[in-house]
Structure 1
C-alpha cells in the first residue's frame, strides 16, 4: 500500500465525504480552541509582526479546514483593535498529502473570506492562501518561514504501516489478540515519525514561534492492547466486521491478514518524550480530553448514532479499504460496522481520547 496515494479522506461534498461526516474531528477542534487562542495571543503580543505566516498541517477539506484558521485570524484582529495596531497581512498555508481534495478547499475560499470579513465588521488585514502538498514527515516549508503551526487529528497517522507485523493475523491494528511484537513495532514507527515531524518543524518555525497539535491519543501511560479507548476499540470493531466477511468467503483470508491500519495513538508521556529528545521546543501546555463517539448535541437513537459514526469512519477509511479489498465490499463492510457500533454504543459510554499540546520554538 503506497500511503501517499491512499491515505486521504473522502473528497467532495457527497453523503460519504469527509466534509459532511467529520463531526468528531470538528468537536476536537472546538474543544482545543482556548489553547490556540492562548498560543497566538502570546506570540502576536510579544512580536507584533507585520506579516503572519500560519500553516495548517493535515488540513483535509471541508468546514474543519477553515475553522481553526478563521479563529486564529479573528483573535489577532481583536488584539489589533485592543492594541490600536494595524492588522498584519496573513499568509495561510494548507498542507496535506497530494491526494487530498485541495480543489474542494479552494472552491469555498471566497465564501470563507467573505464570511470572515462579515464577522469582523471593521475589516481584516490582507489574506493570501496557498495549498502545499507533501508529507509533514519531512520538510515542507523554507527555513524559519512560519510563525504559527496548527495540526488536528493528523499526527496519529503514520508515514507507513510498521514493518515486521506479518503475524498480526485477523487484526487490522493493535488488538487484544495481537502478538506482543505488534505493539512495539507500532510504537517504534511512531517514534521515528514524530521525531522527524518535530525536527522538520524546528527548522521551519521562527524563534519564539508557536505550534499547537491535537492528536488522537490515549489517557493511560501503560497501554493495554485490550484498552477500551476509542482509537484502539474502533479498529477492533471494524476488524470484527471484516473477519465475519472473511469467514463467509466475501473477502479472502490472506487479504485480511495483510491489511493493517497505519495509525498510532500515543500517551502524553510518549508524546512528551519525543519533544524533549529533539530539544528545539518548550512544552507550554498539554491537556487530555475526550470526545464522545456521538458528539452531536441533538438526541438520536442508538442506531442513528451508530450510523453517523460509521459514516464518519467511512469518510476516513474508505480509500484505504478500496485500495486493498476493492470497491465491491465497501457497502457491506459499513452496513455491518454500523450495526456493531450501535450495539457497542448501547452497552457502554464510548469516547475518543485526545491530546492537545502547545509548543514554543526555543532560541
Structure 2
C-alpha cells in the first residue's frame, strides 16, 4: 500500500464525506482552542509582526478546514486592537496529501473570506491562501518561513504501514492478540515519522515561532489496551465475520494493516526532547466520546455537521469518512457497504453494553529554539 497515494478523507459533500462526518474532530478543535490562543498570544506579544505565515498541516476539506485559520486570525486581530498596531499581512498554507479534496477548499474560499471580513470590525489585512499538497513527513516550505504551525488529527497517521507485521494475522492494527514484534514495529515507525516531522519543521519555523499539534492518542503506556486500539479491533471483527462467510479471503484481512499509531504523552515528549529543536510549553490530554454528539450542541460551533441519533451509526460514519479510501484500495468497492453495515451493528451492540468509549487526544504546544 502506497500510503501517500491512498490516504485521504472522503471528499465532497455526500453522506459518507468527511465534511459531513467530522463532528468529533470539530469538538476536539473547540476543546483545544485555548492552547492555540495561548500560543498565538505569546508569539504576537513577544514580536509583533508585519506579516504572519500560518501553516495548517493535514487540513482535509469541509467545515473544519477553515476553523483554525478563522480563529487564529480573529485572535490576532483582537491582539492588534489591544496593542494598537496595524493588522499583519496573512499568508495561509493549507497542506494535505495529494488525494485530498483541494477543489472543495478552493470553491469555498471566497465565501469564507467574505464571512471573515464581516465578522471582524474594519475587516482584516491582506490575506493570501495557498494549497500545499504533499506529505508533512518531508520538507514543504522554504527555510525559516513559518511563524505558526498547526496540525490536528493528522499526525497519528503514519507515512507507511510498519515493516515486519506480516504475522499480525486477524488484526488490522494493534490488539491484545498482536505479537510483541508488531507492537515494536508500530512504535518504531511512529518514532521515525515523528522525528522526521520535527526535523522538517525545525528547518521551516522561525526562531521563536510556535507549533501546536493534536494527536489521537492514549493516556496509558500499554498500547494494547482499549484506550488506543479498541475502535479498530471492532472493525477487524466486522472483516473477520465476512471471512467466516467467505465474502472476503482470510489472507486479504491478514495482509491489511492500518498505518496509524496512538501515541502516549511520554512517547510524544521523548521524541521532541530527543530531536532537540523545540521547547515544550505544555502537553495536555483531553477526552472525547466516540459519539461526539453526546452532550454537545453542534450549533455552538461555526459550521453545520450532520448528526444521527443512532450512536453506532454515527461512529461507523465517522470511521468510514477517514478509513474508506484505505479499505477501497485493498479490498475493492464491492464489500464496502457490507463492512460498514456490520461495523455499525457491532458498535451499536458494544456501546449499549459497555461504558461509553472515549478517544484520548494529546495536544502539545512548543516553541522553536
The alignment's TM-score, normalised by the length of structure 2, stands at 0.95
Distance of 1:121 and 1:104 partners within structure 2: 28
Superposed, 1:39-188 pairs within 5 Å as: 39-188=39-188
Report SS of the residue matched to 1:206: strand
Matching residue of 2:240: 243
Displacement after TM superposition at 1:82 (Å): 1.0
Secondary structure in 2 matching 1:132: strand
1:278 matched to 2:278: no
Partner of 1:357: 364
Does the 8 Å CA contact 1:173/1:232 hold for their aligned counterparts?
A: yes
**Counterpart-to-counterpart distance in 1, 2:364 and 2:28:** 13
Aligned residue pair count:
359
In structure 2, C-alpha distance between the alignment counterparts of 1:336 and 1:270, rounded to whole Å: 34
Matched, 1:314 2:335: no
Task: Give the whole-Å Cα distance in 1 for the aligned partners of 2:329 and 2:286.
Answer: 33
Deviates more, 1:302-311 or 1:39-48: 302-311
Moved over 6 A (4+): none
Q: CA deviation at 1:68?
A: 0.6
Give 1:114 deviation, angstroms: 1.1
Tell me the CA shift for residue 5 of structure 1: 1.1
Moved more, 118-127 or 138-147: 118-127
Extract unaligned runs of 5+ from structure 2: 299-306
Q: Give the 3-state SS of the residue equivalent to 1:193 in structure 2.
A: helix
**Are the counterparts in 1 of residues 223 and 262 from structure 2 also a CA contact under 8 Å?**
no
Deviates more, 1:137-146 or 1:110-119: 110-119
1:344 corresponds in structure 2 to 350
SS in 2 for 1:9: coil
Counterpart pick for 1:269 among 249, 252, 266: 266
TM-score by length of 1: 0.97
Q: Which residue in the other structure is 2:290 paired with?
A: 293
CA distance in 2, matches of 1:208, 1:224: 34
Provide the residue aligned with 1:253 in structure 2: 250
